[in-house]
Amino acid sequence: MADELPLLLASEPLTLLGSRALYWPARQALLIADLHLGKADVFRRSGIALPGGGTRGDLQRLQSLLDAHTSRELWILGDILHGPVHRAAWYQQWLAWRERNATLDVHVLRGNHDRQLPHAQLQVQIHDEVRLPPFLLRHEPMPDAALHVIAGHLHPQIALPPLRRRFPAFWLRERTMILPAFSTFTAGIVPAPAHGERMIACVEGGLVELPVR
């Protein structure tokens, strides 16, 4: 089981990463979706028992990816936030991570959970959507007439019955790629791929592709 998979998308070489990310070598850019900073804290305040370290663990995984892949840019395709920002423990963890990566250009596409983003002072560049031909980066996977869309939002997963678990997955559709949620504590949908679509699961840092219909 490989932890990286080369992919030609819209004639552009990319690399799928088993740690739920996409690498674009030509731009030296790392792309992730649905980071949901602080989501575990919100659940715990609601009385839902979850182990600690959700945001810390996600940032450690992100740092490992940046250390392994030369990156000038990080693109977060929506829903960087999940819950209150200031005075939250995860916020200090984010600022420490941002200081460590001060020269990294961090871009965030505004998602449906990002209402507080303009006031969050996360030291990022905020966009609604961005055209980087041959791709259009946005949060919700709506198709585009001219460019290949790369998006998040849906949190696609694959159910592997022998393991009795669901795993986050890349969903490659016609002119659209939907990234898995990067956040550890995030549920999602198990789509029924249409003819010709590809589903590639992220399993313990490796990649497992389902047979194409």
Tracing tokens 């420490």 back to the chain, one arrives at: 96
Whole-angstrom distance, CA of residue 75 vs CA of residue 145: 22
Q: 3-class SS at 96?
A: helix
Q: Is residue 97 a contact partner of residue 90, using CB atoms and an 8 Å limit? A: no
- The structure's pTM equals 0.92
Q: Residue 190: its pLDDT value, please?
A: 94
φ, ψ for residue 173 (rounded to 5)?
Answer: -110, 180
Pick out the chain residues at pLDDT < 70: 39-53, 82-87, 113-114, 213
Q: Residue 47: its pLDDT value, please?
A: 44
Q: Residue 52: its pLDDT value, please?
A: 53
Q: Residue 49: its pLDDT value, please?
A: 47
Whole-angstrom distance, CA of residue 65 vs CA of residue 173: 25
> What single DSSP character describes residue 162?
G
Structure confidence by residue, pLDDT tens digits, 156-211: 999 877 777 899 999 999 999 999 999 987 889 999 999 999 999 999 999 999 88
